Chain A
Amino acid sequence: MTALLELRESLKKIYSRNEAFILPVIKFLLSFIVLSIINGKMGYMTKVDNMAIVLIVSLMCSFLPTGFMVFFAMIFVLLHMYALSMETAAVGLVVFLLLYLLFLRFTAKEALVVVLTPILCMIKLPCVMPVAMGLIGTPASCVSVGCGVVVYYLIQTVITNAPTINSMGAEEATAKLRLLIDGMLGNKAMLVTIAAFAITVIVVYLIRRMSVDHSWTIAMIAGVMIEVLILLVGDLMYDTNLSILSVLLGAVVTVIVCKIIEFFRFCLDYSRSEKVQFEDDEYYYYVKAVPKMTVAAPTNTVKKINTQRRPAGQQTRTSGQGSRPAGQSSRSMQSTGRTTEGTARSVVTERTPARNGVPYGQQNGYRGYERSGGRSVTIGGEHTNQQDDSDDYEELF
């Protein structure tokens, strides 16, 4: 466990130092994956279904704000629909326009969710997004998740009806329009999925905010179970032909992904270095504020004094242990080469690190967090055998 915590801290340090490079790379990879999946699933316009175009657009998205990734994804989808037929593109444009005018005005920060939800649904991991948004978002996130589901079913309807639309002539414009609108409005699977995702987001949010131990774990398991249950009930009621195996597999992957999100959740509040300028009557100030990285500060010092005699000339051990995993007994740390005669008294101090840099407002969010092992220091000229340590004192945590 401590190794994982140290890994997290080192990843956090690497990210803080290289954020200017890492963030554009992540955005490039994300937009590349999104556009490639769109091209792979649709691919009706060959001019756009081109690796060079995808790379150029992904490169642009890496430098532009995140909203542009959503914009370019929408453009790609509309272009593929236009290649199929004008009516398909019109329906697609109307759906995107309605989503933006009515819903995304209020959830603009979560526009990326509208892109990621259909992508995750396409790669058979539909359960991830609602549970993840319940953990890191607000109840309003169910709106953006619902919009993502609508976009997914729009794309699925177009893909399903593409052969029929291709076979229709230009004079059957109304028929094509009717085919797509009926496919969208009559889609009970879409309604069931939206309901399942919305309920999951709200339930996960409510549970993870509770003041119980392991609230995050309980929330993600409850969210996954509710989602699977509603999807199965919907499948029974409306005969939506869901693959139960894929749903259960997706649920397992969801729990794993959400566990990773939980592990890195404090990193989401990473505060980067900031440069600010201001002035007063006397000076101009050019200030660079660098956030302190998490440092294990002692909050708990326990001294146990044992009266014991030690044989003289006993060999010392090299010190230099870092924090150790919980469960192991603490050992004394000594400098190399010291040998003393047996003394009558040893003092053992154990130090517990503070919580890892949690901002004040979030300290109550997760009380079940396990503390990493502390470091024990033996003060004085005492040195003991490793095996003797476990008899002298107990591990406190």
Chain B
Amino acid sequence: MLNEEKVILMTQMASYEENEGKKNMAIGRYFRSDYITIQVLKSILCATIAYAVCFALFIFYDFENFMQDIYKMDLINFGRNVLLYYGITVVVYGAASYLICSLRYAKAKKSLKCYYNNLKKLNSIYNE
């Protein structure tokens, strides 16, 4: 005999798993610290690539003058400024990523909580 309540619950859960549940489960599979660490590392990598691209564009913007002044300029000071701006970029972007990923994780966990409650309900129906 089919238990209609069970079928409806399982249908809702299957629908959730196929749609928004996919992304939430991929997030929920990690511990909070692990998920945020991975996302912040990816963000730092992207910020590094973006900074490198901007630096290359900056060099090519005034390439002739740069090549002429390269022997006259204080390279250590120049390198220190480049690293300082890189550090600021990475810190700011990493902090923004941290905040966004924390919010995303909290939202995914909240959604999964409902799903796990349904799972408990289903378990209790089976145990009846």
Which residues of chain A have a CB within 8 Å of any CB of chain B?
91, 94, 97-98, 101-102, 105-106, 174, 177-178, 181, 274, 276-278, 280, 283, 285, 287, 289
CB B76 to nearest CB in A, in angstroms, measures 27
Residues of A within 8 A of B61 (CB): 174, 177-178, 181
Please pick, from A94, A276, A280, the residue contacting B11 in the complex, using a CB distance under 8 A.
Answer: A276
Whether B53 and A97, one on each chain, are in contact in the complex, defined by CB atoms closer than 8 angstroms, is yes
CB A366 to nearest CB in B, in angstroms, measures 23
Task: Give the tally of cross-chain contacts (CB within 8 A).
Answer: 58
Given contacts A101-B46, A278-B14, contact A287 B7 (CB under 8 A): yes
| 15 pairs, A vs B, C-beta closer than 8 Å | A94-B53, A97-B49, A101-B46, A102-B47, A105-B42, A105-B43, A174-B60, A178-B61, A274-B18, A276-B11, A276-B15, A277-B14, A280-B126, A287-B14, A289-B11
Distance A383 CA – B54 CA, assembled complex (angstroms)? 82
CB B119 to nearest CB in A, in angstroms, measures 13
Binary contact readout B46-81 vs A (1 if CB under 8 angstroms, 0 otherwise) = 110110011001001111100000000000000000
CB B112 to nearest CB in A, in angstroms, measures 17
Given contacts A174-B63, A177-B60, A278-B10, contact A101 B50 (CB under 8 A): yes
Given contacts A177-B60, A181-B61, A276-B18, contact A98 B54 (CB under 8 A): yes
CB B33 to nearest CB in A, in angstroms, measures 20
Q: Which 4 A-B pairs have the closest CB atoms?
A: A276-B14, A101-B46, A101-B50, A278-B14
Residues of B within 8 A of A278 (CB): 10-11, 14
CB B63 to nearest CB in A, in angstroms, measures 6
Whether A98 and B14, one on each chain, are in contact in the complex, defined by CB atoms closer than 8 angstroms, is no
Distance A165 CA – B83 CA, assembled complex (angstroms)? 34
Which residue of chain A has the shortest Cβ distance to B58 in the bound complex?
A181
Whether B7 and A97, one on each chain, are in contact in the complex, defined by CB atoms closer than 8 angstroms, is no
Whether B50 and A98, one on each chain, are in contact in the complex, defined by CB atoms closer than 8 angstroms, is yes
Distance A178 CA – B66 CA, assembled complex (angstroms)? 14
Please pick, from A94, A105, A283, the residue contacting B57 in the complex, using a CB distance under 8 A.
Answer: A94
Q: Is B100 an interface residue (CB 8 A)?
A: yes
Residues of B within 8 A of A280 (CB): 6, 10, 126
Interface size for B (C-beta < 8 A) is: 27
Q: Is B93 an interface residue (CB 8 A)?
A: yes
Residues of A within 8 A of B54 (CB): 94, 98
Given contacts A98-B54, A181-B57, contact A106 B14 (CB under 8 A): no
Distance A283 CA – B1 CA, assembled complex (angstroms)? 10
Binary contact readout B12-26 vs A (1 if CB under 8 angstroms, 0 otherwise) = 001100110000000
Which residue of chain A has the shortest Cβ distance to B10 in the bound complex?
A278
Distance A128 CA – B1 CA, assembled complex (angstroms)? 56
CB A154 to nearest CB in B, in angstroms, measures 14
Residues of A within 8 A of B7 (CB): 285, 287
Q: Is B2 an interface residue (CB 8 A)?
A: yes
Distance A274 CA – B53 CA, assembled complex (angstroms)? 45
Distance A101 CA – B97 CA, assembled complex (angstroms)? 12
User: Which of B53, B54, B93 is packed against the most chain A CB atoms within 10 Å?
Assistant: B53
CB A97 to nearest CB in B, in angstroms, measures 6
Distance A101 CA – B18 CA, assembled complex (angstroms)? 28
Which residue of chain B has the shortest Cβ distance to A287 in the bound complex?
B11
Please pick, from A105, A181, A285, the residue contacting B10 in the complex, using a CB distance under 8 A.
Answer: A285
Whether A102 and B93, one on each chain, are in contact in the complex, defined by CB atoms closer than 8 angstroms, is yes
Distance A178 CA – B14 CA, assembled complex (angstroms)? 56
